[in-house]
Structure 1
Amino acid sequence: MDTLVKSSWYTIGWNGDTYAGEYFADRMHGFGVYSFANGHRYEGAWHEGRRQGLGMYTFRNGETQAGHWQNGVLDTLSTQNIVPGSAIAVNHSKVLNAVQEARRATEKAYDVPRVDDKVNRAVAAANKAANAARVAGVEGGPKTHSQ
């Protein structure tokens, strides 16, 4: 049965950009952090390779644009200068939660290669043991005589 797997990865682009976060069907999908080689950074939600949902874009000078993204474009801006309890304040809180989720996904992505290595070693050991058992069964098994 073929299924699409959602997983976390850390990749480095040919231009020096990096992405740490979730992938789905070979595209950035879910939460992740994209760091541009020029110092800019996006932390937040992705959908099929585009910024989609809540996220924060940080420029290399420290300025940020946070809010809701649609098809890679910021369509609802949330700022740091907000009135507590307003709809924008609630939206800003959601953005911060989304950014925290992206950071957690980033941390998990760094562990994936180590886990993959352990799984590969366990599979290799299991294959080796299975081959040894087959050889022992063929060569050392009980002898039967048919008449």
Structure 2
Amino acid sequence: PNTIDFNSLGGSLKNALIKLEEIKLKSKSLVQCVQKIQKINPNNIKKLASFIYDLNQSLINVLKLLKENAYMIWTLGNRRISNIEVPLDKIMRELLESMGCHYVYQIEREIPSKRMAKRNSVATTIGNEFILIMRK
């Protein structure tokens, strides 16, 4: 399991704060979220920074494969870190807009039948998902 976690987005925390400095200019929502988490548990910022940095690198690669004016449909859930909701829907939109993509539409819907509890011992789990539609 550790190998899978390490190879997943945000798995490596190496240079996480440097990655944050590089990526924060692309998303004001990320900066606001980091500021909130900083007040509660600064150690959790590295995990978020690494994940968003890796996500951004993935988006760069995805965009290389898409034709001009291609539509992208992203289904996203806003998780919590230090009991602060991470607005992944907004961060994803801002990252894509920083790469020249255009916002088309967003739909929010309640997840009707979850296999996970609505709340665990740490925080409320994801109850809604966001469908973000963007155009290259």
Question: Which protein has greater RCO, CA pairs closer than 8 Å, 6+ apart?
Answer: 2
The alignment's TM-score, normalised by the length of structure 1, stands at: 0.24
The alignment's TM-score, normalised by the length of structure 2, stands at: 0.25
